[in-house]
A and B are shown apart, each in its own frame.
Chain A
Amino acid sequence: MELLGLFAIFLKSSALAVGGLASLPLVHQDLVVPGIATDPQVVEALAIGRLSPGPNGLYLVSLGYEIAGWAGAAAATLAVSLPPLLIIPATALARRWLISAWFGGLVRGVTLGSAGLLLATGLQIAAPGLGAGMAVRIAWWQAALAVLAVVETLRGKLHPALLVALGIVAGNALVLLGF
Chain B
Amino acid sequence: MSESARPRLRTLARAWFDVGTQSVGGGASTLVMIRRVFVDKHHWLTHRDVSEGWSFTQLSPGIHLVALCGTFGLRIAGRRGLLVSVASMMVPAALITAVLAALYERVAALPAASAALAGAGPVAGGMSAGVGVAMMWSIHRHGRRALVDGLLVLVALAASLLLHVDTVSIIVISAVVGALFLGRERPTTRDAPMS
Given the known interface contacts A45-B101, A91-B71, A145-B119, the answer about A119 and B173 at a Cβ–Cβ threshold of 8 Å is no
- Residues of chain B lying within 8 A (CB to CB) of residue A114: 132, 135, 156, 171, 174
Residue of A nearest to B140 (CB): A112
Question: Would you give the 0/1 interface string for A1-19, flagging 1 where the beta carbon is closer than 8 Å to chain B?
Answer: 0000000000000111111
A21 to B67, CA, bound (A): 15
Quick check: A25 and B160 within 8 Å, CB to CB?
Answer: yes
| B5 within 8 Å of A (CB atoms) | no
Given the known interface contacts A19-B64, A105-B181, A154-B134, the answer about A66 and B154 at a Cβ–Cβ threshold of 8 Å is no
Given the known interface contacts A45-B101, A87-B56, the answer about A117 and B21 at a Cβ–Cβ threshold of 8 Å is no
- Residues of chain B lying within 8 A (CB to CB) of residue A131: 160-162, 164
Question: Would you give the 0/1 interface string for A121-144, flagging 1 where the beta carbon is closer than 8 Å to chain B?
Answer: 111111110110000001000110
Give the number of residues in B that approach A within 8 Å (Cβ atoms).
100
Residues 120-138 of B at the A interface (beta carbon under 8 Å): 120-138
B135 to chain A, nearest CB (A): 4
- Residues of chain A lying within 8 A (CB to CB) of residue B94: 54, 58, 61, 73, 76-77
Quick check: A108 and B104 within 8 Å, CB to CB?
Answer: no
Tally of A-B residue pairs with Cβ under 8 A? Answer: 411
Quick check: B171 and A87 within 8 Å, CB to CB?
Answer: no
A80 to chain B, nearest CB (A): 6
Quick check: B125 and A124 within 8 Å, CB to CB?
Answer: yes
Which of B7-15, B39-47, B183-191 binds A? Answer: B183-191
| B147 within 8 Å of A (CB atoms) | no
Quick check: A107 and B59 within 8 Å, CB to CB?
Answer: yes
Residues 29-59 of B at the A interface (beta carbon under 8 Å): 56-59
Contact of B86 among A26, A48, A81, A130 (CB under 8 A): A81
16 A-B pairs within 8 Å (CB atoms) are namely: A18-B59, A21-B128, A44-B117, A52-B97, A54-B90, A55-B93, A56-B63, A65-B101, A83-B62, A84-B57, A102-B179, A108-B187, A116-B152, A124-B161, A131-B162, A174-B118
Residues in chain B within 8 A of chain A (CB atoms): 20-28, 56-67, 70-71, 74, 82, 86, 89-91, 93-94, 96-98, 100-102, 104-105, 108, 112, 115-140, 149, 152-162, 164, 166-168, 170-171, 173-187
Residues in chain A within 8 A of chain B (CB atoms): 14-26, 28-29, 40, 42-59, 61-62, 64-66, 70, 73, 76-77, 80-81, 83-88, 90-91, 98-128, 130-131, 138, 142-143, 145-154, 156, 159-160, 163-164, 166-172, 174-176
